[in-house]
Structure 1
Amino acid sequence: MKPMNTSLAALLLASAMLAGCSGPKTLYQWEGYQTQVNQYFKGESKEAQVEALEADLQKIKAKNGAVPPGYHAQLGLLYSSIGKDDQMVREFETEKALFPESATYMDMLLKNAKGGAQ
C-alpha cells in the first residue's frame, strides 16, 4: 500500500473503533430520579423531593425524553405524604397510562389512599 492509502486506512479504522465506543442511547431519562428515591427512604424533606422531581420532569419533557417506570408513582407517593391527594391521584393515573403493567399496584395504592381518607 502507498503511504497515503495506509494513513487513510488507519484513519478510517480509528474512526470506526471510536464510533463503536459510544454508548447506546438510554431508553429512559433518569435525571435525579434515583437520588430522590434514595432520599425518600432516608426521610429527607418531601417538599424538596417533589420540587426536584418536578424540575427533572420538566427537563425530561424539554428533551422529548421518556420518563422511567415508577417516576410518576414516586411523585404520587410524595404528594400523598404532603397531603396533596388530587395531585397524587393524577400521578398514579399517569403512571398507569404510561406503564399498564403497573395498573394493579397503582389501583391498590389508590384504593388504600381512599380507604385511609374515610
Structure 2
Amino acid sequence: MKTVVYKWVVLSLALGLGGCATAPKPLYQWSNYQGPVYQYFKDNGASAAEQISLLEAQLQKNKAMGELSPPGLHAHLALLYSKLGNDGAARENLLAERNLFPESAPYIDFLLKNANRPKSDS
C-alpha cells in the first residue's frame, strides 16, 4: 500500500510540474511574412509597394524585439524592390540575406551576378 501511494505522489508531481513548462520560443519571428508572400504570388505581384511597407515594418519590429527575421524575408524584399526599379535596395536586401543565412550564398551570388547583366531585348 505504501508503494502504491508513493508511486501515485511521484506521478502526480511529475504531471503537475510538466504542465508548468512553457513552450519553447520559436527561432524566427514569422508573424507578418508568410501572408504577404502568399498574396504576392496569388495576385501576380500586384501590390509590391504595399508589401514592402508591411515587410519593412516587420523587420523593424523584429529588430526592436531582438527577434530574428525568417530566412527569405530579405530575399523577398529584394524581389519587391527590384520589381519597383529600386536596384540599390534590392541589392542591399540580397546582401543582408546572404549575411544572415550563409547557406544561401551560392544562390544569392547567382542572383547578384545576373542582376548586373544587361537586359536583352526579346
TM-score (norm 1): 0.82
Rg comparison, structure with higher value: 2
Q: Decide whether aligned partners of structure 1 residues 80 and 111 sit closer, same or farther in structure 2, where only a CA change above 3 A counts.
A: same
Match of 2:78 in 1: 76
Matched-pair contact (CA < 8 Å) for 1:50–1:75: yes
Aligned length: 111
Counterpart position of 1:4: none
Structure with higher helix content: 1
2:64 aligned to which of 62, 65, 75:
62
Contact 1:31 1:60 in 2 (8 A): no
**Equivalent residue number for residue 5 of structure 2:** none
CA separation in 2, counterparts of 1:61 and 1:82? 25
Q: CA RMSD in A?
A: 2.3
Which residue in the other structure is 1:24 paired with? 24
Structure 1 unmatched runs, 5+: 1-8
Other-structure match for 2:41? 41
Q: Deviations over 1:71-118 (max 9, x none)?
A: 111111111011000000000001111111101111111122111457
The CA deviation at 1:16 is 1.4
Residue number in structure 2 paired with 1:105: 107
Identity %: 46
- Give how far 1:67 is off: 1.2
- Once residues 118 and 62 of structure 2 are traced to their aligned partners in structure 1, the CA distance between those partners, rounded to angstroms, is 33
2: CA distance between counterparts of 1:108 and 1:116?
15
- Distance (whole Å) between structure 2 residues aligned to residue 107 and residue 116 of structure 1: 17
**Which segments of 5 or more consecutive residues in structure 2 lack a partner in the other structure?**
1-9
Question: What is the CA distance between 1:40 and its match in structure 2?
Answer: 1.7
Question: Who is 2:89 aligned against?
Answer: 87
List structure 1 segments (4+ residues) > 4 angstroms apart after TM superposition.
Answer: 11-15
Amino acid at match of 2:76: Q
TM-score when normalising by structure 2: 0.79
State the 1:18 CA deviation.
Answer: 2.5
The separation in 1 between residues aligned to 2:78 and 2:113, in whole angstroms, is 13
